[in-house]
Amino acid sequence: MNRQEAIHMDLNATPADEEFRLEVRSFVAQNLPDDIRRKVLGFLRVEREDYVRWQRILAERGWGAPGWPAAFGGCGWDAVRRNIFDDECFAGGAPRQMPFGLSMIAPVLMKFGTPGQQQRFLPRVLTMDDWWCQGYSEPGAGSDLASLKTRAERAGDHYVVTGQKIWTSFAQWANWMFALVRTSSAGKPQQGISLLLIPMDNPGITVRPIKTLDGGFDVNEVFLDQVKVPVENLVGAENEGWTIAKYLLGHERTNIAGLGMCKRLLRRLKELARTQFKHGLPLIDDPRFRDRIVRIEIDVLAQEWALARLISLEHSGQGLGVEPSMLKIRGSEIQGELGELLMECAGAYALPHLHEAMTIDYAGPTAGGIDVNPLAGLYLDLRKVAIYGGTNEIQRGLIGKTVVGL
């Protein structure tokens, strides 16, 4: 199958796919714990144990890795079924499956890892016995990863790693980090980078939280001071980590597109537009506001088909080009627009933001009710989607250079 055939392949659901949709919907309704559902649909804070609990429920059913090949313990689903599964899980109030293990380091290990690394790590990703974090960005080396300075020096059967990582999501919960490190200063900057798997409980590692606008502490600084890492934890060949990094970033940017999240936000937007009033009428009856909902729904639908085509390209054996960057840009924009529309629905009742009200057991006072208070935190949180995984400005530059030669 060539690239054009992959792009134009039939992605419509069959009767068997529709039967599968009902199966997933029923499973989520019956097996997702109620407390997790309440947190997710209410945009409340989801804790580490909530993610782990749901992942293990899926793994026990055999649905722990929708995007993995069956040979590695995954579902082996095509693009249509993966979208169906994602759609129904998000619609049913399930938390997202954490991408750092499942859809970032796992595909890397499948393609570049040794059989020993695959056997050691992949089963523990499925059950979340290991929680992974990503050690890429550094102070002064965010979107420009090639300028990273964290060093790993070979000393017999291990590396000694010294440096600093920043914006490391959920490092406070992680027990493993996959990290880009500099193993050589010769040649171009990209030629001296390697990928290491680093246990987070090793001596010399310090995690310091960074408070974000929504009051959360999901991102962190990670300091590495003479941290010893076994040579067997090197993925691929030494100094060839840049190729692996680019492969991983393609998967990350596809996930940042956040189609399931966009659909969930769109559903909540419609619900609020029917219950929030302006001049005595529901917002949904305001022609201008309704038009904005229609436009954003069209954008979500277009994003869904674009993602399905991208997955089909990958499954056909085609290499991923700049398509993940395109999806990342548009997905982050859609999420931001949906956050703004939700805030407009809630109006002044979404403010002031009370971080304490993000917990499921909060019983204190709120402005306008506990159901709309988390929208301010959501709005603030969605501001960063256009930044992580490579800023949208960087992605546009990449697209311009690759597609039109700018």
Torsion sign across C-alpha atoms 120, 182, 191, 230: negative
Find the catalytic residue in 252, 304, 323, 337.
252
Q: Is 6 within 8 Å of 316 (Cβ atoms)?
A: yes
In terms of C-beta density within 10 A (0-12 exposed, 13-18 middle, 19 or more buried), how is residue 341 classed? buried
- Which backbone phi and psi does 372 adopt, to 5 degrees? -105, -15
Residue 252 appears among annotated catalytic residues = yes
Active site residue ranges? 252
